[in-house]
Structure formats: C-alpha cells, structure tokens
Amino acid sequence: MGAYLRSCGYKVIEAANGEEALIVLGNADLQIDAVLAEVALRGDVDGFRLAAWIRDRRPQTAVILAGTPARAANAAGDLCEDGPEMSKPYDPQLVLDRIKRLLAARR
C-alpha cells in the first residue's frame, strides 16, 4: 500500500507495529495528515489504541482502520470519521479515494 500511495505523490512513513507508530506520531516536528492502520497490529498497541491515542493527541490527523469486517466495524464512532473502517482485502484506489476525501474535508 505504501508504494502505491508514494506513486500517487504522497509521502509515506511506515511503522512495523503500533509501538513504532506511536514513536513516529510523537515527533511534534512531523506533519502527519492521515494514518492508515490495521486493527490487528503486532505488540501491545492495536489499531484501536493507536486511533484513540491519535484522537487525543493529534486530533488534526485523520485515521482509517483496516481489518476484517467484524473487527473493523467495531472501530466506528468517535475513533475515526467518514466511514472509518475498511474491510480487507481492500482496493488501493478505494484507500486513496478515502484519504483524498478526508484530507479535502479538513481543508
């Protein structure tokens, strides 16, 4: 997914797990407009915890959670916006469209 988004002109920062994502997101010098995260991340920080952290500490950052239909559906509500979940497998163009829509709504 990262390579596809790069080919569309986006800067992509990848993290191996939720803990690494928190380290990246904790860097106040980085402008991060959107986060695409799996619901089931390795380690102690899953997608739900990551989304909650972003909501509390980086409210300007849009969050999209991806996962199996049942798990992703649980992400709805205040953790994400604009139809927060994406069921896997997902089409890269649909992810790109969702990111574009979220970023346009924030401008």
Which of 52, 56, 17, 24 has its CA nearest to residue 38? Answer: 17
CATH code, domain carrying 59: 3.40.50.2300
Which of 90, 28, 92, 16 has its CA nearest to residue 61? Answer: 28
Along the 107 residues of the chain, how does pLDDT read in single tens digits? 889 999 999 999 999 999 999 999 999 999 999 999 888 888 899 888 999 999 999 999 988 888 765 555 555 555 665 555 677 777 889 889 988 988 898 77
- Residue whose tokens read 């997902």: 90
Angle at 3 between CA 36 and CA 43, to 5 degrees: 45
Q: Which domain holds residue 23?
A: 2-106
The whole model's pTM is what? 0.82
Count of domains in the chain? Answer: 1
